[in-house]
């Protein structure tokens, strides 16, 4: 079980995609969170957002900076979480929604008549329809998935969107854990629907090392997928406790 009480932690988050031609795309940032106990079995976790963001080793360009601005308007995000790491609810969705709408307005004024910006805002609005949709989307966030991973519960699922290519989506299920040198490890084969003839196969591994409180000291998800007539793509997402 987790002990989230009195946590004030910072993690370095890195998400990389490796392409068949040897090139790669990488996002690096620092994520901070705080926690406190609210009753015998529940905690309040506050996600404070990202700093020190780098895209492929450099600060974001203007468009990516705008996307980050919109994303960061969501924070702080306050969650109620069980001692097993299950997220019960978002406690401050109304405040999040107000900040997001205000940020949308500011960005539209800043980038007047920009079709690309308008399109991005419209696409992201789908995730803000209500608190349940927002929570389901948040659970697919790379950092959130690695930090709140159900404490090695069976049937842990990782859905990876826009991988191996844009508009693709792959699913890995992890259900059998083993312990090696104080590291929990689980492996999975790609669950490939019959109609996905362009994705030939794949595998993944999830590795987690924990502190005495149960929170991840390091966590890594690594997937490899073969795309028809393209080759192998790899995705690695990892977090490391830095303070």
| Helix, strand and coil in the chain, % to nearest 5 | 25, 45, 30
Question: Given this model, what pLDDT does residue 166 score?
Answer: 86
| φ, ψ for residue 31, nearest 5 deg | -110, 135
Task: Tell me the per-residue pLDDT of 139-195, one tens digit each, with 9 for 90 and over.
Answer: 999 999 999 986 556 668 888 989 999 888 899 988 888 888 889 999 999 986 655
For range 1-13, the mean pLDDT:
93
Question: Given this model, what pLDDT does residue 104 score?
Answer: 94
Closest alpha carbon to 163 in 145, 142, 144, 148: 142
DSSP H/E element including 122 = helix 115-125
Gap between the Cα atoms of 108 and 70, Å rounded: 11
The pLDDT > 90 percentage for the chain reads 72
Closest alpha carbon to 29 in 2, 56, 67: 56
For range 49-62, the mean pLDDT:
95
**Predicted structure pTM score:** 0.92
């Amino acid at each position: 079980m987790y002990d989230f009480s009195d946590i004030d932690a910072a993690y370095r988050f890195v998400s990389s995609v490796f392409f068949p031609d040897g090139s790669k795309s990488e996002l690096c940032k620092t994520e901070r969170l705080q926690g406190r106990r609210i009753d015998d079995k529940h905690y309040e976790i506050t996600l404070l957002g990202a700093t020190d963001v780098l895209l492929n080793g450099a600060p974001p360009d203007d468009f990516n900076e705008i996307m980050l601005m919109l994303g960061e308007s969501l924070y702080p995000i306050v969650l109620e979480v069980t001692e097993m790491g299950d997220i019960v609810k978002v406690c401050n969705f109304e405040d999040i929604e107000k900040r997001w709408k205000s940020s949308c307005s500011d960005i539209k004024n800043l980038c007047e008549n920009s079709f690309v910006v308008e399109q991005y805002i419209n696409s992201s609005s789908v995730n803000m329809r209500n608190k349940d949709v927002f929570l389901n989307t948040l659970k697919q966030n790379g950092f959130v998935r690695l930090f709140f991973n159900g404490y090695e519960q069976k049937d842990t699922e990782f859905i990876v969107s826009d991988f191996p290519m844009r508009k693709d989506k792959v699913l890995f299920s992890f259900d059998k854990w083993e312990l090696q040198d104080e590291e929990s490890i689980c492996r999975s084969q790609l669950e490939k629907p019959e109609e996905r003839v362009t994705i030939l196969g794949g595998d993944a591994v999830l590795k987690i090392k924990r502190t005495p409180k149960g929170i991840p000291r390091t966590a890594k998800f690594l997937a490899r997928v073969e795309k028809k007539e393209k080759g192998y793509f790899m995705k690695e997402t990892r977090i490391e406790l830095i303070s």
